[in-house]
Amino acid sequence: RTHKITLIPGDGIGPEVSAATVKILEVAGAATGVGFEWHRFAAGAEAFEQTREYIPKALYESIEQNRVALKGPVTTPIGGGFSSINVTLRKKFDLFANFRPVKNLPGLATKYPDIDLVIVRENTEDLYSGLEHEIVPGVVQSLKIITDKGSTRIAQFAFDYARKHGRKKIHAIHKANIMKLSDGLFLRCCRRVGEGFPEVEYQEHIVDNTCMQLVLNPYQYDILLTENLYGDILSDLCSAFVGGLGLVPGANLGHECSIFEAVHGSAPDIAGKDMANPTALVQSAVLMLHHINERATAELVQTAIEQVYREGKTLTRDVGGQSGTKEFADAVLEAMASP
């Protein structure tokens, strides 16, 4: 079998972590009888230089056809410039569910062992509407959009996931004490959906308290069900439980297509230095392999990653090691060859 996959290497550390990931997938695929045809595209500033488009038309078409993409991080300019490529792609393909499992890797000592929680983040609405304007000089308005449809389908996704995977508890995260209408609507939708899942415990926590509760005792949480902004922020917070942004994978899921990418950004502070940890993107690729039903390939990659962490000899600097991106990737290849 050969899978056609749209590949967006991204910028900053994107090309480095993507190259490592593709190499690992190629070898794992060869060992399990799975081939990949990578359809590679630039996006963002780099694409604009080549095509005068931030997201080239051919990239849209490729995702439409292949329905699966693997994506590295793309830099978004602060203040002016173009609007986020990530947000644009998520909206364009209606990738409404951002799924981010946060789980410890074996052998990697962190302040919080045995973390196993999932963030389910609404991915198309909220303050990421991009609707901002200046009312008069010195006064601007950013619109937070929350809909019944958007909230209901993300809640449905979270509860379905809980049922399918035997998860016990869902916390809807909100600030409905202040944003009574928008977050109030979000909560009403979560509650309504939750009624159909009596076996899943449902609770509501206010987002600021959630930050404290997470640091005090993350074990009280199982699935965090959030709007777009709270999920963005809580994802970075939760990544620290398991060793940081270099580890946590993600999936942007829609009904038509899906884009798999890490939680982290383009990390300009370490870009081009062979320092980035490719684990987060590799684990995103593992989610992708499960999505396309290549279970054996997914397990081969995941087992090899875990073996490298268990041995702990070739880890990147963000998790206390001394190795570079390439050396880490080579260790994963070796682990696949001799488990």
Report the interface residues with Mg ion, using CB under 5 A: 232
The residues near 296 (Cβ < 8 Å, ≥ 6 apart) are 32, 34
Q: Which of 28, 276, 305, 332 binds ligand NAI (CB under 6 A)?
A: 276
Q: Which is nearer to ligand NAI, 75 or 88 (CB)?
A: 75
Type of residue numbered 257: C
| Dist. CA 328–CA 339, nearest whole Å | 16
Q: Which is nearer to ligand NAI, 125 or 294 (CB)?
A: 125
Q: Which is nearer to ligand NAI, 184 or 312 (CB)?
A: 312
Ranges of beta strands (E only) in the chain are: 2-8, 35-40, 68-71, 97-103, 116-122, 132-136, 139-142, 169-174, 201-206, 223-226, 251-253, 258-261
User: What is the number of other CB atoms lying within 10 angstroms of the CB of residue 225?
Assistant: 30
Q: Which does 210 bind (CB under 5 to 8 A by kind): ligand NAI, Mg ion, none?
A: none
| Dist. CA 197–CA 159, nearest whole Å | 7
User: What is the nearest approach in angstroms of Mg ion to the Cβ of residue 35?
Assistant: 32
Q: Which is nearer to Mg ion, 183 or 261 (CB)?
A: 261
What is the contact mask toward ligand NAI in residues 91 to 130, using x (rule: CB under 6 A)?
Answer: ----------------------------------------
Q: Which does 232 bind (CB under 5 to 8 A by kind): Mg ion, ligand NAI, none?
A: Mg ion
Sheet holding 97-103, edge to edge: 35-40, 2-8, 68-71, 258-261, 251-253, 97-103, 116-122, 223-226, 169-174, 201-206
Say whether residue 44 binds ligand NAI (CB under 6 A). no
Closest residue by Cα to residue 187 from 217, 215, 161, 207: 207
Q: Which two tokens stand for residue 9?
A: 């290497």
**HSE-up of 103 (CA within 13 Å, CB side)?**
15
Q: Please provide residue 41's backbone torsions phi and psi, each rounded to the nearest 5 degrees.
A: -140, 145
Q: Which does 266 bind (CB under 5 to 8 A by kind): ligand NAI, Mg ion, none?
A: ligand NAI
User: What is the nearest approach in angstroms of ligand NAI to the Cβ of residue 87?
Assistant: 9
User: What is the nearest approach in angstroms of ligand NAI to the Cβ of residue 182?
Assistant: 23
Q: Which does 150 bind (CB under 5 to 8 A by kind): Mg ion, ligand NAI, none?
A: none
DSSP H stretches of helix in 81-120: 85-92
Say whether residue 300 binds ligand NAI (CB under 6 A). no
Q: Which of 267, 286, 288, 336 binds ligand NAI (CB under 6 A)?
A: 267
User: What is the nearest approach in angstroms of Mg ion to the Cβ of residue 245?
Assistant: 9
Binders of ligand NAI: how many residues, by CB under 6 A? 21
Q: Which of 207, 264, 298, 329 binds ligand NAI (CB under 6 A)?
A: 264
User: For residue 202, what are the β-bridge partners?
Assistant: 170
Task: Determine the interface stretch with ligand NAI among 183-191, 205-213, 220-228, 274-282 (rule: CB under 6 A).
Answer: 274-282
Say whether residue 284 binds ligand NAI (CB under 6 A). no
The residues near 37 (Cβ < 8 Å, ≥ 6 apart) are 2, 3, 4, 5
Q: Which of 246, 249, 321, 324 binds ligand NAI (CB under 6 A)?
A: 246
- Chain CA centroid to CA 275, Å: 20
The residues near 81 (Cβ < 8 Å, ≥ 6 apart) are none
- Roughly how many angstroms between the first and final C-alpha of the chain, as a whole number? 24
Say whether residue 234 binds ligand NAI (CB under 6 A). no
Say whether residue 86 binds ligand NAI (CB under 6 A). yes
Task: Determine the interface stretch with ligand NAI among 31-39, 198-206, 268-276, 285-293 (rule: CB under 6 A).
Answer: 268-276
Judged by the rule CB under 6 A, the positions of this chain that interact with ligand NAI are 13, 17, 73-76, 86, 245-246, 261, 264-270, 276-277, 280, 318
